[in-house]
């Protein structure tokens, strides 16, 4: 199963969630995390430094002959990674004139499905060609949303994009795995955001919120998925529920 982790809003925990889920899914079977963000946060977050000569998502995107498998590396935590760096930003511009340019990642990842039952694609904070490629490659999309006043802002646009892909028959089978509220605390703002999500998005699964905790940035620094870094059940549980759901569907 290929899952895109997307929200064009920045800093909503897309990358942190990708690492958290990747860590849990890797315990069940081969798991590939695809860094599709030129910021390369997923790559650095897994402790990977791109060596010179290392193939990255950039080459996979722009070179028709470049297989995705050749770019995959195994990290210390046993998770497989297709790394990215800032060159991917150039790649996004280079493919603008290429025919069928929204299906490039799909074509590159499809041959890896046999080898990796779980493939997660970490998207950049924009609704450009990279996110579009990730959505087109995916069977389902997980949408992390920060529990704050503007939680729904931008979400509508992402949902419309997904609906558009389904309606136009471009990608009729794309599912929405659900919305994952992140950085939830005890404030009224969080309660309001959760209430708004639940009342406005009645036909979308809203997962249990991930609590706000300094353990998450700490785990990023330690280059470890949250379940390895912290034994606090309440931090891992929301991710465990989603990992179980994904594993059941594969
Ligand atoms: N549950 C949480 N509680 C507190 N901080 C968190 C939580 N989840 C993530 N963070 C922190 O929030 C910041 C943004 O997270 P992250 O980089 O995962 O977001 P992102 O959506 O991938 O950002 P971008 O849009 O820039 O790619 C990071 O410093 C991360 O450590
Ligand atoms: Mg990110």
Tens digits of per-residue pLDDT, 171-200?
Answer: 999 999 999 999 999 999 999 999 999 999
Model confidence band, residue 78 (pLDDT cutoffs 50, 70, 90)? confident
How much distance in Å is there from the Cα of 13 to the middle of ligand 1?
Answer: 4
Model confidence band, residue 202 (pLDDT cutoffs 50, 70, 90)? very high
Ligand 1 pocket check for 12: Cβ under 6 Å = yes
Give buried/exposed letters for 122-136 (b at 16+ CB in 10 A, else e).
bbbbebebbbbbbbb
Tell me the mean pLDDT in the region 91-100. Answer: 96
State both tokens at 151: 């939680």
Torsion region of 126: left, alpha or beta (phi above 0 gives left; psi -120 to 50 gives alpha) = beta
Cβ atoms of 209 and 147 closer than 8 Å: yes
Give buried/exposed letters for 58-89 (b at 16+ CB in 10 A, else e).
bbbbbeeebebbebbbebebebbbbbbbebbb
Cβ atoms of 184 and 194 closer than 8 Å: yes
CATH number of 2-249: 3.40.50.300
Tell me the mean pLDDT in the region 216-232. Answer: 96
Ligand 1 pocket check for 75: Cβ under 6 Å = no
pLDDT of residue 77: 82
Model confidence band, residue 107 (pLDDT cutoffs 50, 70, 90)? very high
Q: Write down the domain spans for the chain.
A: 2-249
Give the dihedral of Cα atoms 114, 176, 227, 130; nearest 10 deg. 70
pTM of the complete model: 0.98
Ligand 1 pocket check for 190: Cβ under 6 Å = no
Longest C-alpha distance within the chain, in Å? 52
26 vs 117: CA distance, rounded Å: 10
User: What percent of the chain stands above pLDDT 90?
Assistant: 94
Ligand 1 pocket check for 47: Cβ under 6 Å = no
pLDDT of residue 207: 98
Cβ atoms of 165 and 136 closer than 8 Å: yes
Model confidence band, residue 233 (pLDDT cutoffs 50, 70, 90)? very high
Tell me the mean pLDDT in the region 222-242. Answer: 97
Cα of first residue to Cα of last residue in the chain, in angstroms, is 6
User: What percent of the chain stands above pLDDT 70?
Assistant: 100
The runs of H, that is alpha helices, within 99-250 are 104-109, 129-137, 155-167, 188-200, 215-221, 226-229, 233-249
168: pLDDT strictly greater than 80? no
Which of the 8 DSSP states describes residue 70?
G
């Amino acid at each position: 199963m290929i899952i895109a982790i997307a929200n064009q809003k920045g800093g909503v925990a897309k990358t942190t969630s990708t690492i958290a889920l990747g860590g849990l899914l890797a315990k069940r079977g081969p798991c590939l995390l695809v860094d599709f963000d030129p910021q390369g946060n997923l790559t650095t977050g897994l402790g990977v430094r791109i060596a010179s000569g290392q193939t990255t998502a950039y080459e996979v995107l722009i070179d028709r002959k470049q297989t995705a498998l050749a770019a995959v590396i195994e990290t210390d935590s046993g998770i497989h990674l297709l790394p990215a760096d800032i060159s991917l930003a150039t790649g996004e511009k280079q493919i603008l004139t290429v025919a069928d340019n929204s299906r490039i990642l799909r074509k590159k990842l499809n041959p890896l499905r046999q080898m990796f039952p779980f493939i997660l694609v970490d998207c950049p904070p924009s609704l450009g060609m990279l996110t579009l490629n990730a959505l087109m490659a995916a069977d389902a999309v997980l949408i992390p949303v920060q529990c704050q006043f503007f939680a729904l802002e931008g979400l509508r646009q992402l949902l419309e994009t997904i609906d558009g892909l389904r309606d136009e028959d471009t990608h009729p089978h794309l599912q929405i795995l659900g919305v994952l509220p992140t950085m939830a605390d005890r404030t009224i703002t969080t309660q309001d955001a959760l209430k708004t999500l639940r009342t406005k998005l009645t036909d979308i699964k809203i997962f249990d919120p991930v609590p706000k905790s300094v353990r998450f940035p700490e785990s990023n620094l330690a280059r470890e998925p949250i379940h390895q870094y912290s034994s606090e059940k309440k931090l891992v549980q929301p991710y465990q529920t989603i990992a179980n759901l994904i594993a059941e569907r594969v």
